[in-house]
Chain A
Amino acid sequence: MSFRAPSILPGFGITLGFSTFFLSAIVLIPLAALIAKTGTMGWGDFVSTIFDARAIASYRLTFGASLLAATLNGVFGFIIAWTLVRYEFPGRKIIDALIDMPFALPTAVSGIALTAVFAHNGWFGQYLAPFGIKVAYTWIGIVVALTLIGLPFVVRSVQPALQEVQRDLEDAAETLGAGRFYIFRRIIFPTVMPALLTGFTMAFARAIGEYGSVIFIAGNLPMKTEITPLLIVIKLEQFDYAGAAALGFMMLVISFIMLLSINLLQAWGRRRHVAAGR
C-alpha cells in the first residue's frame, strides 16, 4: 500500500500527519495510559474489581439508563425535529435555539435544576408523589437527566436529513395512492433512518460518559442508583488508582462493543441496498 498521491488534492501528507498527531495526543495516548495503569494491578485484583457486585450493578444502571434515554430521545427528538422542519409557527426560531441549551449548560447545573423540579416537594415531584412515583434519587431520575443532555444530538442530526426529504417524493407517493401514514412509514422514515441512528448513537455515547448531572439527581445509593463513573470517582478518592483504571477500562470495552455493533448495523443496512442492486 502506498501513501503517495492517493488523491489529486495536494496536502495529503501533512493533513494525515496532523490527524495522526492529534488523535494520538488527545485520544490514543490517554487511553493507552489507562490500559497501562490497569496493567499495574494483578489479574486476581482486576477480576475481583470489575466483577464486584457493586460494579456490575453500576454497569447495568449506566448502560441500561443510557440506552433507555437514547431511545426516548430517538422518539421525541424525531418529533421535535419534525415539528421544527415541517411547520411554520410563531416562536419556532426560539424553540430551535433552545434545543442547543443542554450543550451549553454546565451539566451540574442541569442536574441541580432537575433535582429541584423532581424532588418530592419540587414543581413536578409534588404531583407525582401521591401516585407513588419517585423520580429524584431513583433510576428514573437518572434517565431523565440523561435524556436532557442527549436530546440535542438527535434533533440536530435528524433535522438536516428531514429538510432534505423532497416534497416531490411525498407528492409522488400521494398520487400513487399512499395515505399519510403509509408515506411516513415507507418514504420519510427510511430516508431519515441513518441520521436518526447516528443521533441515537451520539446521545447514547454521551449518556454513558455523563457524570455531572447524574450525581445530583441519582442519590448515589450503592447497588441502586450508583453509576459507573461515580464508582470510579469513589475509587479515586480512596487513592485506588488502579481500581479506577480497571473500571474505566471495562467501560471502554463495553462502549466500544456497543458503538461498534451500531456502526456495523448501519453499514449492513447500507450494504443490503448496494448488494440488492447487483
Chain B
Amino acid sequence: MSITLDQVTKRYQGAPVVNDVSLEVAQGEFFVLLGPSGSGKSTLLRAIAGLTGVDHGRIALHGQDVTHVSARQRGVGLVFQNYALFKHMTVGENIEFALRVRHMKAADRLKRRRELLRLVALEGMDDRLPTQLSGGQQQRVAVARALAHKPQVLLLDEPFGALDAKIREELRRTIRQVQRELKITTVLVTHDQEEAFALADRIGVMNLGRLLESGKPDELYARPATRFVATFLGAANLLLARQTTQGIRFGSTPVRAHPTDKLDGGREHEVVAVLRPEEIELAPTRDALRTNFIANGVVEELVFTGALERMRVRMTSGAAEGQLVSSGAENHASSAFLDVTRTQYEHRAFPVTLQQSVAVGVRRIHVLPTPLSSYTACASGPEAAERLARHPFLAELAARMKTRIASRVEPTLAAPDRNVAASTPISGVAVIATQNNLLQQSEWLLQNGAAELLVLPSQAAPPQRVLIHWADDSARRSTLAVAASVLRHVPAEAVYLGILPGAADDAQKPLGVRALLDARSEAQSVHGLEMRTELHFGGAAEALNRQLGESTDQMLILGISSLQQLRDQFGAMLASPVPYSLMIVYRPAKELEVNPRLDGIRDTGGAGERAALS
C-alpha cells in the first residue's frame, strides 16, 4: 500500500474535523477525496502531507510510519488551489526549488527542469515569471514543481478550483496523463463529483469528517450504501418504500422486485429507495409503460439543457402516498416531486409539455442498506407528539438524513398496557421523550413493531460522543448497522463499550479483548465505521451509567435481542428519565438467525440490494 491511514483523527477546538478515517491507497492509484466544503477532506490531505499534525491515528507512506515525520522529510508533492507559486522566481527557479534545497548540481537541475516542463507541456517557458502566465499554465508549473524531487505521493488540493471550465478540462487531462506516465500514487481533493468521476480510479466520499464510502466511481454511483453518497454523487430521488414478500411497495403500489431480493424473515419493513432521474420512464398511460409503474404524475417543471431534458414531476397517486423523502428540492418537502431526466431519443418517443399528466415508471431501484428509514414521534397526546417532532436534535438528524418525521398519537403510552396493541404497526424509528415510565413505554413500543427506539431528553444536544453497547452477541450486527447509520450523520466520536460481568478476572480478559477486536473489525469491514473500544467489568447498567453520568452531549446506542434483557439488565437505568439521548435497537434473536436483515448490501455481494425491475 502506498498510503495507509489508520484511524486518523484531527480535532479543532475539541470538535473532530477529521473523524477516525482509515484508508488505503494502492501504488499508482488515482484516489479522489470527494466531499462538500467543511467535510474535512482538505485537512486530511494536509495531514497526509505532514502540514497538519493528527490527534490520533497513524499515517504510513509505502509502509513507513510517517505520523511524526515533518512535511520536509515526507517526500510528498503538494499542489494548491491558488497555485502557491513563488512570484519573485521564474518558472525555472520555481521548478528547481526542491532540487536547489537538495543541493543538486546545476547541470542536473537543468536536465530535470527540461523533463518536467516537457511533461506539463510548457517547454521554453523557463524564464517567464508566474504573473506572466495564465491560470492554467501557472497550475501546470505548480504540478511540475511538486514533481521535481520525485515524490512518492502526489497530493492535489482542489487544483482546478480557480480555473474556468475549458481550461479545467484540459488541465484535468494533463494531470491524468502525467499521473499515468509516472505511475505516481495520487490523492486529489475536490467537491466536484464530475471531476471525481473523470479522474478517479477510486473515490472516497467524505462528510462531517468521516469517510463514508469508497469505491470505484460506477459502483458508488449505482450502489451507494448511504443517503449522503446517493444524493451527493449525482441527482437522486429518495423515497420511503416498504419491503414486502412480493417485493418493494411504494404506498399501495406494489412493484415487482427482482427474484433474488430477499426479505427479512418474512417481516415487512420500511426501506429507503434510490431512484436516479435517468432511470425513470414517462408514458401517456400506465399500460404504455415498458417498466414498472410507480405513480401517476403531472409535469411541473421542464428545462431543456441540450442533450438532456430535465423535469420535475409531481406525483398525484401511487408512490405519492409512498412518502417521498426528497427530490433534492427542500422547498417542496411537503409535496411528492420526482426529478426526471430524459434523452432526446426518449423525448421524441413521447414529447411532454408542462402540466401534462403522465404515468411514471422506473427501470431500476436501489434500496439503501440503512436500517434507519424515517422517524415517528410518538406521544400519548397530539401536542406532546407535535412538540417532540420539532425537537431540535431530531429535526437536525432527520434533515441530515434527508428523511421525514411523522408524528403519531398513541393514548396507550400514558399507561402502557401489554395487552393493548397499537392501531397499526409502528414503522421507522419510534421517538419518545424521556420520562418516568420510560421502561414501560419502551417495552410497549418495541412490542408493537418498532425495531429502533430513540429516547430524547428535552435538552438533548447533538452528541459529541456516541457510546455503543449490545447486551449479547446476537444483537451485534443490528446495533452496529444502526450505529454506523447514526454516525454518518452526526460529527461525533464512536466508542464501543465491551462489558464483562463480574470483577476483573485475568482469565476473562483475553475473551473480552477478542470481543472488542471482533466488534471493531466488523464495524470497519461491513459498515466502514471506525470506532474506539473500551473494556469494562461489572454490571452493564452500572458501567454505562459511570460513562454517561449526567451528561447531555452523549448518546448511547444499546442493542438488545429480547425484551426480557431490557427489563433485567437495563431496567434500573430506565427507571428514571435519562439525561442523554438513547437509541435502543431491538431485534428478536430468533428472527436474526433466520435472516440477518441488517447485514447490509455490501456483504451480499451487491446482488441482494438491487430490486432491479423490468
Contacts and interface: CB of A to CB of B under 8 A. Distances in A.
Contacts of A176: 97-98, 101, 145-146, 148-149
B80 A277 contact: no
Interface in A175-224: 175-179, 182, 186-187, 190-191
Contacts of A276: 90, 127, 129
A173 interface: yes
B72 interface: yes
Nearest to B97: A176
B601 interface: no
A235 B102 CA distance: 63
Interface string B81-102: 0101011101000000110011
A166 B87 CA distance: 11
Q: Which of B51, B90, B132, B146 has the most CB of A within 10 A?
A: B51
Interface string B48-92: 011100000000000000000011111111101010101110100
Closest 3 A/B residue pairs (Cβ) = A168-B84, A176-B98, A172-B84
B84 A169 contact: yes
Nearest to A180: B72
B132 to A, nearest CB: 5
B51 A178 contact: no
A168 B127 contact: no
27 contacts: A169-B84, A171-B46, A171-B49, A171-B51, A171-B84, A172-B86, A172-B142, A173-B86, A173-B97, A174-B51, A174-B70, A174-B72, A175-B71, A175-B74, A176-B148, A177-B98, A177-B101, A177-B149, A178-B72, A178-B101, A182-B101, A186-B97, A191-B87, A273-B129, A276-B127, A277-B127, A277-B132
Interface in A230-265: none
A177 B71 CA distance: 7
A274 interface: yes
A190 B88 contact: yes
Interface residues of A, number: 22
Contacts of B74: 175
Contacts of B46: 171
Interface string A110-140: 0000000000000000000000000000000
B77 A175 contact: yes
B74 to A, nearest CB: 7
A175 B49 contact: yes
A190 to B, nearest CB: 5
Contacts of B78: 171-172, 175
Given A176-B148, A276-B127, A277-B132, A166 B82 contact: yes
A168 B88 CA distance: 15
Given A171-B46, A174-B51, A176-B98, 4 more contacts: A171-B49, A171-B78, A177-B73, A277-B128
A169 B84 CA distance: 5
Contacts, number: 73
Interface in B196-210: none
A48 B65 CA distance: 79
A177 to B, nearest CB: 5
Nearest to B142: A172
A182 B146 CA distance: 18
Contacts of A178: 72, 97, 101
B10 to A, nearest CB: 16
A178 B71 CA distance: 9
B129 A274 contact: yes
A175 B97 contact: no
**Most chain B CB neighbours (cut-off 10 Å) among A172, A173, A179, A186:** A172
A177 B102 contact: yes
A193 to B, nearest CB: 8
Interface string B170-196: 000000000000000000000000000
A176 B102 CA distance: 9
A186 B70 CA distance: 20
A64 to B, nearest CB: 32
B90 A172 contact: no
Interface string A143-179: 0000000000000000000000010110111111111
B82 A171 contact: no
A166 B84 contact: yes
B484 to A, nearest CB: 34
A169 to B, nearest CB: 5
Contacts of A172: 78, 80, 84, 86, 142, 145
Interface string B457-477: 000000000000000000000
A172 B142 CA distance: 9
A139 to B, nearest CB: 37
A175 to B, nearest CB: 4
Contacts of B97: 173, 176, 178, 186
A175 B148 CA distance: 11
Nearest to A193: B88
Contacts of A173: 86, 97
Contacts of B82: 166, 168
Contacts of A274: 129
Contacts of B142: 172
Contact of B129 (A175, A187, A277): A277
Interface-centre pick from A179, A186, A191, A278 (highest chain B CB count, 10 A) = A186
